[in-house]
Amino acid sequence: MPEPQVSSETLLTPDPSCVQRIWTGWAGVLTVGVGAILLVLFRCLNHPKIPNTVEYVGLLVAAGLLMILLELAVFRAYRHQFDFRARRHLGRPDHVDVARQFAAVLITLILAWAAYAVFGEYALNLNGFLYPQFEKSWYRPFFRLFEVATMVLPILAIPYLYLCAAFRRWPREEDEMLRLWNGYAALVRFRRPAPEFLAAWRSLLVKFFFIPVMTVFFVNNAASFESRLIAFLAGPGQSGAVVAERLFRALFEGLFLMDVSLALLGYICCFRLLDTHIRRAESTLLGWAVALACYPPFNLRITGLYLPTEPDGQSWSQLLAGIPWLYGLVGVVIVVLLAIYVYATMAFGLRFSNLTHRGILCRGPYAWVRHPAYVSKNLAWWLLALPFLSGVGDCVRLLLLNTIYVLRALTEERLLGSDPAYFAYRQRVKWRFIPGLF
């Protein structure tokens, strides 16, 4: 693939096309982190019980609204896609376009429900369409939210579509919903849809796959963090090693809760108004394969079998019970690595997404290496698994798992490679994983 041409002036300009605002990510992390701790303390002091998912969903909504407010009111991200100083006069063709876009929204929602019902992984029963049954599904937290979204989205879509029609900067031919409508119309007439329709559906597939997964991760991480933090707060009277292990596990779950929260918000908040829309989605089978291999249900049969786990009755704290300083050192290093991993997610702000191009990141940890999340996560895995590697076979399997992430990095760079801004970024940040080495 030929390298995009970039002028020397572009290379000398710091971060010319960097889309992220670090403060947006910080706002989300602090809201989720501090809010989750306060929820646990409130529950401990007032009404200890099974975690209430609604409270954490409210916390997620608060974080999302704060991040959106920063993007719109402070950073004015809408300026890239909207011009509110020049309102277009809307004629009959514009109203027809809005009607077609709205129809595309409804058709897409119906197809999404149908697809979830077809694939047995989701355990969704649509025998009564108005009353879908999913209580036995692992994804039931998502379906509860998707029911609400299915009712709310059509209501919000109409004013948003008219807002786009009146103030948009992008050409009509590049509108994603119109491309979907044109594709649906072609299929009804038994004609082959345009490539733009398939590209739009690849973007939708990313969201339809990852939003359910991240929703379940969020709910499970919230419950796990709460139980771990409550166990740590009950620490007085326990030995120092027990308290240290409980603190480590609470921090471990808390970091992943913040990571998953921002990731879920990134998949949901995909709008041109926020300049977080998908520019392009991965189109290669290899790119999809190595990404999906790391998430349910595929990781249960692929990556999950390659990561050694703690044997029954053993843990890091037990193995290093006689060397407390070493246990503390290892725990600190793992927490730091996971904090870097969360920092990498935080740098996306509202743009986190696998398999897509949603703008070039070049600040935070991305100013040091091009794939900070992958290197920190894989190093943390090695430290977590080190005591339980029983032989060469375990090491080889873990190396194969690392290779999947190397392939993910390479396919992501190929997806972004046609963007001149990414070529300029690569000129400044030459190292993929470890500065000075690789």
- pLDDT tens-digit map of 362-406: 889 999 999 999 999 999 998 888 777 777 888 888 898 899 999
Least confident of 114-123, 133-142, 176-185, 321-330: 321-330
The answer to whether 104 touches 180, Cβ cutoff 8 Å, is: yes
Q: What is the pLDDT of residue 317?
A: 65
Give per-residue burial for 188-210: e unless 16+ CB within 10 Å, then b: eeeeebeebbebbbbbbbbbbbb
Model confidence at 353: pLDDT above 50: yes
Q: CB under 8 Å to 336, separation ≥6 — which residues? A: none
Which DSSP string corresponds to 316-345?
A: HHHHTTT-HHHHHHHHHHHHHHHHHHHHHH
**In this predicted model, what pLDDT tens digit does every residue of 250-294 receive, in sequence order?**
999 999 999 999 999 999 999 999 999 999 999 999 999 999 999
Q: What is the pLDDT of residue 239?
A: 64
CA angle at 415 for the pair 410 and 419, rounded to the nearest 5°: 120
**In this predicted model, what pLDDT tens digit does every residue of 105-148 receive, in sequence order?**
999 999 999 999 999 999 999 987 678 999 999 999 999 999 99
The answer to whether the predicted template modeling score (pTM) of the entire model surpasses 0.95 is no
Q: CB under 8 Å to 365, separation ≥6 — which residues? A: 340, 343, 344, 347, 372, 373
Mean pLDDT taken over the chain: 88
Model confidence at 312: pLDDT above 80: no
Q: What is the pLDDT of residue 51?
A: 55
Model confidence at 15: pLDDT above 70: no
The answer to whether 378 touches 61, Cβ cutoff 8 Å, is: no
The answer to whether 290 touches 302, Cβ cutoff 8 Å, is: no
**CA 216 to each of CA 1, 15, 28, 296, 308: distance values in angstroms, whole numbers, following the listed order:** 39, 35, 19, 10, 23
Q: What is the pLDDT of residue 324?
A: 73
Q: What is the pLDDT of residue 328?
A: 81
Which DSSP string corresponds to 47-112?
A: ---S--HHHHHHHHHHHHHHHHHIIIIIS-GGGGTB-TTSPPPP-HHHHHHHHHHHHHHHHHHHHH
**CA gap 278, 345 in Å, rounded:** 17
The answer to whether 197 touches 179, Cβ cutoff 8 Å, is: yes
125 forms bridges with which residues in the sheet? Answer: 133
**In this predicted model, what pLDDT tens digit does every residue of 136-158 receive, in sequence order?**
999 999 999 999 999 999 999 99
Model confidence at 189: pLDDT above 90: yes
Model confidence at 310: pLDDT above 60: no
Q: What percent of the chain stands above pLDDT 90?
A: 71
Give per-residue burial for 335-363: e unless 16+ CB within 10 Å, then b: bebbbbbbbbbbbbbbbbbbbbbbbbbbe
Model confidence at 205: pLDDT above 60: yes
